[in-house]
Structure 1
Amino acid sequence: MKRALALGIAALVVTGCGTSAPEGTGTNDGRGPITFATLKDGTGTVPKLVEAWNAEHPDQTVRIIDLPEGADGQRQQLIQQAQTKSDTYDVITIDLPWNAEFAARRWVTELPREQFDVDGFFAAPLKGSEYRGKLYSIPHFTGAGMLYYRTDLLGRAGVAPPKTWAELKAACAKVLALPEAAGMSCYAGQYDKYEGLTVNFAEAVGSAGGQVTDDEGKPKLDTPAAKAGLDFLVSGFRDGTVPPDAITYKEEEGRRAFQQGKVLFHRNWAYVHALMNATDGSSAVPGKFAVTVIPGASGPGVSTLGGNNLAVSAFSKKQATAREFIKYMTSVDTQRTHAKGSAYPMTRTAIYQDPELRAKYPYLQVLQDAIVGARPRPALVRYGDASSAIQEQVYAVLGGKTTPEQALSTLQRQLAEFAQGA
């Protein structure tokens, strides 16, 4: 999954915000042709699924509208449509952490839980689809960060995949001493100033035993665990564990670095597996890597939950059809077909037990374990402001422009303000 991409089992629901959630299931409960505003699918799988729906529903056809590539552009376009109360979009794709904001702003409609088969979803994505105990979106894709590592080089050095940060650095010391590893760096994630930095920071804090916010949305960055998590990122740049140019890495830059044999360990999403395992000459590492859960301070780490949800625009005039289409797109049968056509991580647990899919995607068990243990990003109504603040402060620390202590103090104050309301 490319957006992941692009963040425990319980969502961090804010209870003190100043706006209320939509009530009921909307007043425009009609049927007919609808639009589906979603991420562009390079595999062609989503268009085929829509074609299958259209063949069965000639009076309720679906037209796909591609959203911008970047998450920021997607959010901006959806907000513009909502603020003008446009009925151009019927079903919309939203990042999981946007659920609280869109529900609180009355931009999406509450979904009647009894109309959806919710028992088969992973617990964390489903919980993140709620706002104040009510359901406002349905998990479509999910995901969790995994640690990619070079099996060939670790094998030659007699090193096991690391479970802790200390083991990761010790493994690098041994492996990078090999002649075959000359010129390589140890580890890289996503550290450019964008949503991926928020994800990596939240993972570092969680993997040190902390939380960015608690279950009530209150910030918890004035803790030793938060300091330990940020120190892990900072020390990686200072001691050479992380290459200097990783300060510009998003998902694709890091993927290319690992794929070209420049880094030994790499944190990324599931979608990069097929790209790095390509045998057409585009990758230098096919058959030479595997995945495991990300490491933590004292044991396996905690990934930040990724994924996208499907919701019904509050301004749609055909909400009955919109709900039916969401049920179709998130059903077990459709998800199984979708998974066979693309590597997007599905949200129903049954998909991860399918023998055919397990053979096709050897990382499925690791991914399932990572999703089960993952934590969502803070479900704040002002999530966009919170993420921007985290990016600004953490990037400044990694660039040596401020101290971890000062950055965490500033974030503690800023996130407390964002948690107060809209």
Structure 2
Amino acid sequence: MRRGAIALLAAGIVLAATSCADQGIRAAAQAEHDNLDGRGPITYVQGKDNSNVIRPLIDEWNATHPGEEVVFEEQSNKPDQQHEDLVQHFQSRDTGYDVTVVDLIWTAEFAARGWLQPLKGPMGIDTDELLEPTVTGARYGDILYAAPQVSDGALLYYRTDLVDHPPATWDELIARCGAARDAGIGCYAGQYAKYEGLTVNAAEAVTTAGGSIIGADGVTPTIDSPEAKAGLQSLVDAYRNGDIPREAVTFQEEQTRQAFQSGNLMFMRNWPYAYSLMNGQGSSAVAGKFAVAPLPGKTGTGSSSLGGHNVAINVYSMHKATAHDFLAFMTNKKTQEFFLSRGSLAPVRADVYDDPELIARYPYLPTLKTSIQNAVPRPITPFYPAVTRAVQNNAYAAIRGEKTVDQAVADIRSAIAAAGS
């Protein structure tokens, strides 16, 4: 009798939860059509503005938009806390968070839940000048749900005192590792600690080899293709052979930069932020002795994982017309140049990368543009947290030799299938 009561109670909880979810989806679908002409003050939400980039931009906006002023709501520095904060406000249908910064990997999740205003019809934005991969990273299905705000693409850093030209392919890079051994240093490293950076690096290896992790539907696992397996195997082989140093399984971005900057690596995969640090710091052993190239691929330029953030409108905002105009302000050329000059953030506009004055100040811009143009977003899926955990755990085990690539891929596939079921 008691078991029957518990079963009925559990069934009731499931039905109630399902009913609440359905109600939330219906409410969001209705809200999508509300307040499209609404104008007035709005709140802009993002993580810590450590480089003081956002505040001057908001001051500039407020000086010319009386009655439509922007208030800055600053979140913590930690992405997990930022995500939790946004989820809580969206779930409660809070109208106060009008415009929010969303990480690329959150966009599909929030769009699938109906929390982001679709940018179509009267809410559409001009994407003609934006780099296409940044636009792809702001879509879910065929619909644009956010405006690309800042981007990022990985670069191959190489020692010009040891290498006369960058390798064009992954096989060429590995073939040059003998020069690193002769110099008594490591050959190549990216980010292989068990964290989000490993998903980024594993995804690059997979996509560069012609594979993918998940299908276009955001649900179907595709990691078990021969191409995907070959991509992951390339990292496993390089680590086993010593071409990737043993300590690299502890590396995040900064550990990789420090290894290269101290002269202990010949090649490094990292983001553009490292460029000025390694040329500008007096303690840098490689200042003036390195250059950058796109990541090497199977037969040419490889595929970086796309980095960056998008900016979206809360579907429950009361002032969507003002929010829409603020998105356009965030993507105009002047604002994008400011992101670059003040915060060393990668622009999303192609014309910024072609500016001769900016190229003179930031010599890596043409290479970064090539990287972003060839970039592929990490898996676009509403179940991203489960997907990235599966990739991190199993890629880490494969690189360390604790699992075969076949077993790691099978386990990733099973985890993705379970998440989408």
What are the ranges of 5 or more consecutive residues in structure 1 without an aligned counterpart?
1-17
The equivalences for 1:292-331 within 5 A come to 292-331=293-332
Per-residue CA deviation, residues 314-372 of structure 1 (Å, 9 max, x unaligned), is 23333222222111111122212332323211111111111111111111111111111
Secondary structure at the counterpart of residue 47 of structure 1: helix
CA gap of 1:113–1:355, structure 2 versus 1, over 3 A, is: farther
Aligned-pair CA distance for 1:22? 4.2
Structure number with greater CO (CA < 8 Å, separation at least 6) is: 1
Per-residue CA deviation, residues 346-400 of structure 1 (Å, 9 max, x unaligned), is 1111111111111111111111111111111221111121111111211222233
Counterpart for residue 39 of structure 2 = 31
- Aligned partners of 1:274, 1:113: CA distance in 2, in Å? 42
Counterpart for residue 368 of structure 2 = 367
- Aligned partners of 1:121, 1:416: CA distance in 2, in Å? 34
Aligned-pair CA distance for 1:269? 1.0
Q: 1:385 is matched by which residue type in structure 2?
A: A
Counterpart for residue 273 of structure 1 = 275
Per-residue CA deviation, residues 107-137 of structure 1 (Å, 9 max, x unaligned), is 2111235542221111121122222322210
Q: Structure 1 length as normaliser, TM-score?
A: 0.87
Q: Is the Cα–Cα contact under 8 Å of residues 339 and 346 in structure 2 kept in the other structure? A: no
Q: Is the Cα–Cα contact under 8 Å of residues 380 and 418 in structure 1 kept in the other structure? A: no
Counterpart for residue 411 of structure 2 = 410
Out of 31, 34, 52, the residue aligned to residue 44 of structure 1 is 52
Q: Structure 2 length as normaliser, TM-score?
A: 0.87
Q: Is the Cα–Cα contact under 8 Å of residues 153 and 305 in structure 2 kept in the other structure? A: yes
Secondary structure at the counterpart of residue 152 of structure 1: coil
State whether structure 2 residue 174 is matched by structure 1 residue 165. Answer: no
Bigger Rg over Cα? 2
Per-residue CA deviation, residues 52-94 of structure 1 (Å, 9 max, x unaligned), is 1111123222222333334333222222222233334221111
Counterpart for residue 162 of structure 2 = 153
Q: 2:151 is matched by which residue type in structure 1?
A: T
Counterpart for residue 336 of structure 1 = 337
Secondary structure at the counterpart of residue 303 of structure 1: coil
Secondary structure at the counterpart of residue 83 of structure 2: helix
Secondary structure at the counterpart of residue 304 of structure 2: coil
Per-residue CA deviation, residues 220-244 of structure 1 (Å, 9 max, x unaligned), is 2222211111111112222111122
Aligned-residue identity in percent: 42
CA gap of 1:85–1:231, structure 2 versus 1, over 3 A, is: same
- Aligned partners of 1:270, 1:52: CA distance in 2, in Å? 27
Counterpart for residue 93 of structure 1 = 101
CA gap of 1:120–1:148, structure 2 versus 1, over 3 A, is: same
Deviates more, 1:67-76 or 1:243-252: 67-76
Per-residue CA deviation, residues 8-58 of structure 1 (Å, 9 max, x unaligned), is xxxxxxxxxx97984674524533332221233333222211111111123
Secondary structure at the counterpart of residue 161 of structure 2: helix
Counterpart for residue 110 of structure 1 = 118
- Aligned partners of 1:31, 1:295: CA distance in 2, in Å? 48
Deviates more, 1:304-313 or 1:90-99: 90-99
- Aligned partners of 1:257, 1:386: CA distance in 2, in Å? 30
The structure with more helix, counted as a fraction of residues: 2
- Aligned partners of 2:291, 2:256: CA distance in 1, in Å? 16
Counterpart for residue 7 of structure 1 = none
Counterpart for residue 151 of structure 2 = 142
- Aligned partners of 1:396, 1:68: CA distance in 2, in Å? 32
Q: 1:123 is matched by which residue type in structure 2?
A: E
- Aligned partners of 1:294, 1:113: CA distance in 2, in Å? 38
Deviates more, 1:59-68 or 1:146-155: 59-68
What are the ranges of 5 or more consecutive residues in structure 2 without an aligned counterpart?
1-21
Count of aligned residue pairs for this structure pair: 394
Aligned-pair CA distance for 1:101? 1.1
- Aligned partners of 2:148, 2:121: CA distance in 1, in Å? 13
What is the aligned-residue RMSD (CA, Å)? Answer: 2.2
Counterpart for residue 59 of structure 1 = 67
Out of 219, 222, 225, the residue aligned to residue 221 of structure 2 is 219
CA gap of 1:404–1:127, structure 2 versus 1, over 3 A, is: same
